[in-house]
Amino acid sequence: MPTDVHLGSAPDDLNLTVCPASGRELASVVLVLPGGGYQFHADHEAEPVAQWLSSLGMHGVVLRYRLGDDPLESAERDARAAVSWLRGDATAGWAERGRLAVLGFSAGGHVAGLLATGTEPPDAAVLCYPLTSFLDEPERTEALLALGLDAGRRERLTLARRVGPGTCPMFVWHTADDAVVPVSHSLDLTRAATAAGVRVELHVPERGGHGLGLAERQPAGAWRDLCQAWFTAQGWLEGTHAR
């Protein structure tokens, strides 16, 4: 880590890795949440993504949230703690205030969505082929995740039911041919966001399947340029202005 980035001591129970912004001291911060079906952390959706964000001029911070007996609860708790900590003194001197985003893939996209639709949301959220619903084909979803949930938790964990005026701006992308998490998950979420007046941008590449990460050397990899343009339009990258 460069000497001009002074990261405070992280809480012992948070597993964080920092990729500082390239060529910048004061920059936006993006918390990266890898996927893995709440059973493991997909490495290609972790540090490589933070390094890409660094190349854009943003600090990328990877969180490997805990996966215990109740991974849904522990992942959300760890992510909320990380956001709270990053908004505090941890990033004093190198983080731009009011510019903390979360970026998650698949199950990590679900965690990011829980934060985006919560009571103290981040300032922006990027959801990559996210799991968003436990109400649409719940048996299939719970079998995929090896989880069993009661009706109340299915409702609480379905992002479209949580969207409201306080939901932060979102960038969402999902391939049309995803056979693991159907694209309907992202369509339902963006429909709910639009109805609630939330700023949201959705992209649906025709092909690519699931678990693409940066999707390098694939047509779906265009999501990176689109996401960069979205952050630029928000004024999060150097020399840009919010729309």
Neighbour tally for 242: CB within 10 Å = 8
What's the pLDDT at 242?
A: 43
Architecture of domain 16-234: 3-Layer(aba) Sandwich (3.40)
183 contacts: CB under 8 Å, gap ≥ 6: 174, 175, 176, 204
Contact in structure between 63 and 129 (CB atoms under 8 Å): no
Residue, of 146 and 211, whose pLDDT is higher:
211
Backbone φ and ψ of 100, nearest 5°: -120, 115
Joined together, the tokens standing for residue 45 give 């959706």
Joined together, the tokens standing for residue 230 give 């979205």
pLDDT digits (tens, 9 = 90+) for 9-66: 667 789 999 999 987 778 899 999 999 999 999 999 999 999 999 999 999 999 999 9
List the beta bridge partners of residue 29.
Answer: 59, 100
Strands (E), the chain: 16-19, 27-33, 59-63, 95-105, 124-128, 170-173, 200-203
What's the pLDDT at 187?
A: 97
DSSP codes joined into one string, 123-187:
SEEEEES----SSSSHHHHHHHHT----HHHHHHH-GGGT--TTPPPEEEE--TT-SSS-THHHH
Q: Which of 121, 125, 120 is nearest to 186 (CA)?
A: 125
What's the pLDDT at 153?
A: 83
Q: Percent of the chain having pLDDT more than 70? A: 86
Highest mean pLDDT among 12-26, 68-82, 118-132, 135-149 belongs to 118-132
Question: Dihedral sign, CA of 95, 96, 97, 100?
Answer: negative
CA separation for the pair 111, 82 (Å, rounded): 12
Question: In the predicted model, is pLDDT for residue 90 greater than 70?
Answer: no
Q: Percent of the chain having pLDDT more than 90? A: 70
Residue, of 146 and 214, whose pLDDT is higher:
214
Question: In the predicted model, is pLDDT for residue 89 greater than 90?
Answer: no
What's the pLDDT at 130?
A: 97
3-class DSSP state of 24: coil
